[in-house]
Structure 1
Amino acid sequence: MKKLISVLALSLGVLSATSAMAGSQYSHYDEHRYHSQDRHHWDNNQWNDRYQQQKRVNPSRDWRAGQKFPRAFDNNRYEISHRDSNRLNRPGRYQQWYKINGDYVLVNERSNRIIRIVG
C-alpha cells in the first residue's frame, strides 16, 4: 500500500511538472521584443510608393505576354467567359480570361503567366 501511494504521489508530481513546463510559452522576453520593434513610420517616399500601387492599371500598356499575372487580379471578380465578348477566343485547357479596366487578359492558370492581352 505504501508503494502504491508513493508511486501515485510521484506520478502526480511528474504530471504537474510537465504541465507547468507546457504552460504558457509567452515570456517576458517576447513581450519586450514585441514592444521594442520599430514601428512602421511613413515618409514621403513610402506614401508615393503606396499611391503608385493603387493607381489604375492599364494591362495593354503596363503588362506583357510571358509576365507573371499580378495576384491582386487573380480573383473571381475579374474572371469572365469568352462568350462575354465576341473578340475573345475560346481559352485552352488551364487558361482563363480576365477583364481588367476594359482590357482582356488571357492567363495560364497553372503557371500564372500572361498569354495574351487584348486591348
Structure 2
Amino acid sequence: MNKLIPTVVLMMGSLFVAPYTLAYDDESPRGYDRGNYQHEDERKVRNERRGQSFQWKAGYKMPQHYRGDGYKVDFKQQNLTPPARNQQWYKIRGEYVLIDTSSHTIIKTRN
C-alpha cells in the first residue's frame, strides 16, 4: 500500500504533463517555438521598408523615427538655404528635407 500511492500519483502526473510536452514540437505553427524566427524576419523587413513608402512632399508630417539628431545637417556645409526660426534641415535617404520643428511638417525637399 505504501508503494501504491506514490506510483499512482506519478502516473496521474504524467497524464497531465504529456499533452503539454507534445504541443511544443518543431512542427507547431506558433511563432515562438524553437527554431522559428519568423517574427524577427518580419521585423527586419518592416525596418528595411520604413520610409520607402512615405512621400517626402511639402505639407506632409515627418515620421517620428527620423526626428533624431543623427539626421540633422548643417546648412552651410551642404550649400542649403538658411532655415528660418523653428526650421531645420535633415538628410534622409540622400534627400535634404526642410522641416518646421514645431509642427514637424515638411516645408520643402531638395536632392
Aligned equivalents of 2:50, 2:77: Cα separation in 1: 23
Q: How does 1:56-75 map to 2 (within 5 A)?
A: 57=51, 62-75=55-68
Is 1:54 aligned with 2:48?
Answer: yes
Aligned equivalents of 2:98, 2:60: Cα separation in 1: 11
Gapped regions of structure 1 (runs ≥ 5): 1-40
Is 1:112 aligned with 2:99?
Answer: no
1:79 maps to what in 2? Answer: 72
1:91 maps to what in 2? Answer: 83
TM-score by length of 2: 0.56
Deviation at residue 48 of structure 1 after TM alignment: 5.5
Look up the equivalent residue of 1:101 and give its one-letter code.
R
Contact between 1:58 and 1:103, CA under 8 Å: does it hold in 2? no
Deviation at residue 64 of structure 1 after TM alignment: 1.2
Runs of 4+ aligned structure 1 residues displaced above 4 Å come to 47-50
SS of equivalent residue, structure 1 residue 83:
coil
Higher relative helix content: 1
Aligned pair count reads: 78
Deviations 1:70-111 (CA, angstroms, capped at 9, x unpaired): 11010010111111212x100000000001121100000011
Percent of pairs identical after alignment?
32
Bigger relative contact order (CA 8 A; separation at least 6)? 1
Gapped regions of structure 2 (runs ≥ 5): 1-30, 33-37
